[in-house]
Amino acid sequence: MVFGVILAGGVGSRMGNVEKPKQFLKIGGKPILIHTVEKFLMHDSFQELIVLTPTEWIEHTKNLLKKYLGEEGSTVKVLKGGSTRNETIMNSIAYIEENYGLDDDTLIVTHDSVRPFLTYRIIEENIKYGLQYGACDTVIPATDTIVHSEDGKVITSVPDRSKMYQGQTPQTFGAKKLKELYQSLTEEEKEILTDASKIFVIKGEQVYLVEGEVYNTKITYPYDLRVAESLLNDQKNGK
Amino acid sequence: MLNTIYRLVAPRRFEIAFQDISLQGDEVIVRPTHLSICHADQRYYQGARPAEVLAKKLPMALIHEGIGDVVYDPQGVFKPGDSVIMIPNTPVEKDDVIAENYLRSSKFRASGFDGFMQEHVVLTHDRVVSLDPSIDKVIAAFTELVSVSMHAVLRFDRFAHKRRNIVGIWGDGNLGYITSVLFKATFPDTQLYIFGVSEEKMSSFTFADATFNVDDIPEDLLVDHAFECVGGAASQSAINQIIDHIQPEGTMSILGVSEYPVPINTRMILEKGLRMFGSSRSGREDFERTVALYQSNPEIINYLSNIVGAQVPIRDIKDMNRAFELDNQKNMGKTIMIWDK
């Protein structure tokens, strides 16, 4: 069984002086989260879609789903997020385990709610390679040179750019495996390993690369919101 | 939902645009899988249309021949995963007499508004025709072009008098080939003559009863009716040659598109009492008849497979450019984009 897990746990601390977490801000007159959920609704392979959000925003999220997506919106499960990204993912796995049970074929496609520009193909390939390899991560080749510095003052090394990629989401994992790996971490390791793919890699598991899109960006700063809005306004130029 | 659209913004330049699609509407959402390039798309891509036309039409997503898989149908008529053919002609009114493709108010994909080069295409139910999974998708991709020939053959049957011993088709390109295949399947007892310029191309018309080089037509050769599938600069010579080689009261079906007005021998049209009619595009009925023909005459699919040219997998804009450049270099055949966006 495949589950869509949309991470809307962020409170938008990087977004400047806005009243709402960034996933609830609108682009093209619709909340970013709704745009993202709609992309997942296009796939019929998902057993259930799960949105994880801070406790105080749960009712708001449910109302938005109902308002913008009607009946379809009511089928989306809204759960409380955790204190970290991984804890949030663990909450979704706990829900799946309780309601469906976990086996080796239980797959979760996790995605940042603030990446509404993802495509059908990206989700499709995440499911495909997730089922085939057990884990995959969406990336694009790095366009800027990446510089590695140990102390933040001088360059330690300059890795070969052709081997560097920028991580996006979705990230897809076998839920049972991820739970086992996460539980095997010490509290200290959990603090450092904020990215679920990294847990797999560190534990010697293979994570397959899925080709992302340059425009599958994360809306993090007010600048990103302006870019997203102007991308969408392009439609006015279409004939 | 944010839908990605690949629009031609200037000759040879595609750019990405996004458009919000409402999931609250009644329409079917289709994900294109196989798209076929037409001369009309190529003319936009090459910038071979008058500057004022380009300025008026672009930016616009190209392609009006294509199939896809249904991903969402709020009415439940189609299931997710169903293969469908997308109809590019989009009528906005109903008329009991005039066919949908001749209504001046009708819009057409990749001409009046965005074509199929999109992540998802939103269509009303009557713009979607089911495709049997047994039909080769690469061939089904250009069903729109086949339906244009079907439309012309059906109109021929309506307008042409009953003596149909010999029919001539001028044009040895894709349209001439498809029209010939369909004509022979529909009227197997009629002698079908092909008039073209390339011996090599005409050698593919194995189902025809005879082929003639247009520079070497016997003077006394006459056909009862004719189809013109030439278009462009050669329209004039093709149409006038038909007028010379057609029997009195024959019908001439004009399918070739010309960018400029064509001078023709109207005196002889009068003297022979000829009937000339245009055929352009197609409507839902033509698509349905075409799909039914695929089923009843499976050999049609084999004949159509002869004109499949390059198949280009599309992952990014570079691939789109490559497909159009390959299509432009080819002598004959249809270029199919295997759409993986």
State whether B251 and B320 are in the same domain.
no
* Rounded-to-integer distance, Cα B93 and Cα B86, Å: 19
The predicted structure's pLDDT at residue B137: 97
pLDDT tens for each residue of A22-33: 899 999 999 999
Q: Which of B186, B261, B265, B255 is nearest to B227 (CA)?
A: B255
Distance between CA atoms of residues A197 and A89, nearest Å: 12
A201 to chain B nearest CA, in Å? 28
Average pLDDT estimate for A209-231 = 91
Q: Residues B62-94: pLDDT tens digits?
A: 999 999 999 999 999 999 999 999 999 999 999
Tell me the mean pLDDT in the region A105-110: 97
Give the C-alpha separation, A22 to B20, whole Å: 19
Does residue B165 sit in the same domain as residue B239?
yes
- Residue B259 has a pLDDT of 83
pLDDT value at A15 more than 60: no
pLDDT-above-90 percentage for chain B: 96
- On whether both B98 and B113 belong to a single domain, the answer is yes
- Which helix (H) or strand (E) element contains residue A139? strand A135-141
Residues 6+ apart with CB under 8 A from B176: B169, B170, B194, B196, B227, B229, B230
Q: How many pairs of residues across A and B have Cβ atoms under 8 Å apart?
A: 81
- Same-domain pairing of B129 and B34: yes
> What is the structure's pLDDT at A229?
87
Checking if the pLDDT of B236 tops 80, the result is yes
**What was the pLDDT predicted at A12?**
46
**Angstrom distance (rounded) from CA A198 to CA A231:** 32
Average confidence score pLDDT of chain B: 96
Same domain, B273 and B219: yes
Residues of B in contact with A120 (CB under 8 A): 31, 71, 119-120, 341
CATH of the domain at B122: 3.90.180.10
Q: What is the mean pLDDT of residues B24-31?
A: 94
Percent of chain B clearing pLDDT 70 (strictly above): 100
Structure token pair of residue A145 = 């040179």
Residue of A nearest to B110 (CA): A239
Give dist(CA B189, CA B185) in Å, integer: 9
- Taking only the tens place, the pLDDT of each residue in B104-143 is 999 999 999 999 999 999 999 999 999 999 999 999 999 9
What lies within 8 Å, CB to CB, of A56 at 6+ separation is none
| Pick among A26, A42, A114, A124 to test the B interface (most B CBs inside 10 A) | A42
Q: In angstroms, how far is CA A166 from the centroid of its own chain?
A: 14
Q: Residue B301 domain-assigned?
A: no
Q: Which residues from chain B sit within 8 angstroms of residue A68, using beta carbons?
A: 24
Residue A131 CB partners (closer than 8 Å, separation 6+): A2, A105, A107
B108 and B153 co-located in one domain: no
Residues B247, B157, single domain; the answer is yes
Q: Is the dihedral of CA A166, A167, A168, A170 positive or negative?
A: positive
State whether B9 and B129 are in the same domain: yes
* pLDDT > 80? residue A235: no
Which CATH number is A2-140+167-232's, of 3.40.50.880, 3.90.550.10, 3.30.70.580, 1.10.3720.10?
Answer: 3.90.550.10
* Domain presence at residue B294: no
The pLDDT value given to residue A222: 84
In this structure, what DSSP letter does residue A138 have? Answer: E
B99 is a domain residue: yes
Cα–Cα separations (whole angstroms), residue A152 to A144, A146, A149, A159 = 18, 13, 5, 16
User: Best residue in A114, A217, A234 to probe B by mutation, most B CBs within 10 Å?
Assistant: A234
**ipTM at complex level:** 0.84
Number of domains in chain B: 2
pLDDT digits (tens, 9 = 90+) for B182-222: 999 999 999 999 999 999 999 999 999 999 999 999 999 99
Min distance A56 CA to chain B CA atoms (Å):
26
Q: Are residues B227 and B332 in the same domain?
A: no
Domain that holds residue B189: 147-278
What CATH number should be reported for the domain holding residue B207? Answer: 3.40.50.720
Q: Do B110 and B152 lie in a common domain?
A: no
- Whether residues B171 and B120 share a domain: the answer is no
Residue A18 has pLDDT above 50, yes or no: no
**CB-based contact B278:B254 (threshold 8 Å):** yes
Alpha-carbon distance values, A235 to A42, B3, B5, B16, B113 (Å): 21, 10, 9, 10, 12
Note the pTM of the prediction, 2 decimals.
0.91
Q: How far apart are CA B42 and CA B140, in angstroms?
A: 20
Q: Which residues of chain A lie closer than 8 angstroms to B17, CB-CB?
A: 231, 234-235, 237-238
Whether residues B1 and A42 touch (CB distance < 8 A) is answered with: yes
Question: How do the domains of chain A map onto residue ranges?
Answer: 2-140+167-232
Residue of A nearest to B5 (CA): A235
pLDDT tens for A74-88 read 999 999 999 899 999
